[in-house]
Amino acid sequence: MLTVVKNRKGVIDVDTVKGCTLGMAAYPDGGCYGECYACKMARAYGFNFKISVNRKIVDREHMNTLTIIMQGYPANWYRVGTAGDPCHDWSGTLTTIKALRYSGKIPVIITKHWRKLSDDQIERLRGLSAVVNTSTSGMDSDGEIKHRVGEIERLKGCGVRSVCRVVTANYGSSE
């Protein structure tokens, strides 16, 4: 079941997916770069981060409750992609964002694009005024960087606000 949570930084988190199957397959030792915050938190709470779990709105009453909770926070945006990558269920993520549009808040999606958006899904994102932050890092492979930068440009070219989000980690203490 989908929840709305205000994190310690005051950000509204609406995770449509918990876990990151494809990221953990690519980086099995601790998630991306061995430093994935979401993976570390999942382990701390005893969750299997290797399995992406889709989280959905159950019914209209649930949707109304989530909307009211979101309206109670002063921020004009909310984050989708804190404890998992929403790309594991683009369809469900878009359905959720559409349902929560009455909150009056802008959805900001954080993704690594393990799965590509279809052209139709990009059009839906544009219509929902979503912002897509694509996570990149100097530790990404050349292929990952090419793919992610390509998705950033593809989204921009389709009229979606697309931002390159640079991920850093603790350098120099290991190979």
pLDDT tens-digit series, residues 103-142: 999 999 999 999 999 999 999 999 999 999 999 998 999 9
Q: What is the CA radius of gyration of the chain?
A: 16
Distance CA 173, CA 27 (A): 18
Side-by-side strand order, sheet with 131-136: 5-6, 12-13, 77-80, 106-111, 131-136, 161-166
Distance CA 73, CA 51 (A): 30
pLDDT digits (tens, 9 = 90+) for 6-41: 988 889 999 999 999 999 999 999 999 888 999 999
User: pTM of the prediction?
Assistant: 0.94
Q: Where are the domains of the chain?
A: 5-19+53-166
